[in-house]
Amino acid sequence: MGTAFLFPGQGSQAPRMGLDLLSTVPHVQARFQQASAIAGLDLVELVRTADAAALTRTEITQITVFALSTAIAEFLMARGLEPQAVAGHSLGEFSALACAGVLEWEEAARLVWQRGLAMKAASASGAQAMAAIGGLSAEAVAALCAEAAPAGLVVVANLNSPLQLVISGEEAAVEEVMRRVRERPLTRVDRLNVGGAFHSPLMQPARDALRQAIESAVLRPPAVPVVSSIDGELVTDLEVYRKKLIDQVTAPVRWRDAVHRLRHMGVDHFLEVGPGRVLTGLVRQTDRTARTATAGSLAECELLLGQRREAGD
C-alpha cells in the first residue's frame, strides 16, 4: 500500500515545537491563527515562549499538537506527498480524522479544544497519574493493577507495543503498581509527564461532557483509509465508529493493534507527522522491518519532499 501518516498525542509536545514551520510556511501560520481563535489564546506566542510545564496543561497540549500535526500533513499533501492510510494515537485520532476528511478541520479543532477542557476538568477531581511499563505482558500488568486495588483505581490504559504498556489511575494506586514492577527483574517503569489519568474510568466526566458534541458532529466517509487506535480496526460504519469515539477518553489505546492492521494492509512506510518521535519508536518496537520517518520540522519536511522528487514520484 505504501505510506501511512501517523499522528501523535499528548506527551509529544515540546517548547518551540514546529517554530521553523510557523515562521516560514503561511499555511501553518493560518491554521494556528484559526486554532487560536477557537481557543481564545495566542497559540503562536505560546509555542514561542511557553516552557515545558505550561505546554503540559492538557487543554494547551491538545490544541497545539493538533494544529501543528494537521498543518504539517496539509503542507506535505499540497506538495504531492499523499498518505495511503492514516492513524492517530489518542488525541492524534482527531488529527487523522481531519486529515482523512472524516471531520472538517474546524469541527475537529473545536472538538479537540472541548476535549482538552473536559479532560482537564476530569483531572481536577483528585491526584491522578500515568506510567509506562516495559518488560511485562498485558496480562501481568493487569494482574498488578488488580493487586494494587486497595490503594485505588488503576487500569491498563495504552497497549502501545509488545515492549510498552501504560497504566492510568489514582496516583497512590499507580505508585503501588510502579513499586511492584520495580521488584521484578528486567523491567522498566517511568511516570509520564501528563496532567491526568487518561483512558481510564476517571475520565468518565469528560466522556459525558463530550457526548453531545460528538453525537452532533458531521462524520463523512474517509477519503483515505483510517485505522482507529481505539480498536485497531478500519473506520467503515460511521455510526458504529461515532459510539467508539464517544468512549475514546475512557477506553484503552490499542496502538500496537493499529500498527499490525496497517502492516496487514500493506503499509511499509510509517511517517510520524507532528512533534516528537514517540510513535516512531513504538512502530519499531512492534515491527522491526517497518520503515519509519518523522515530519515535525521544516528540515524534515524538506528532506522528505526532496527524496520524493529524487525518486521521480
Q: Which of 69, 199, 200, 229 is catalytic?
A: 199
**199 a catalytic residue:** yes
Q: Could you tell me if 147 and 174 are in contact, meaning their C-beta atoms sit under 8 angstroms apart?
A: no
Q: For residues 97 and 104, what is the distance between their CA atoms, to the nearest angstrom?
A: 8
Q: Is 255 helix (H, G, I), strand (E, B) or coil?
A: helix
Strand partners, 130: 168
Q: Which of 300, 305, 253, 260 is nearest to 11 (CA)?
A: 253
Helices then strands, each counted (H, E), the chain: 14, 9
Mention every residue, 6+ apart, whose C-beta is less than 8 A from residue 254.
Answer: 159, 229, 230, 231, 232
Partners of residue 3 on adjacent β-strands: 269
Selecting among 12, 36, 90, 228, the annotated active-site residue is 90
Whether 264 is a known active-site residue: answer no
For residue 249, the SS3 value is coil
- Show which residues are catalytic: 90, 199
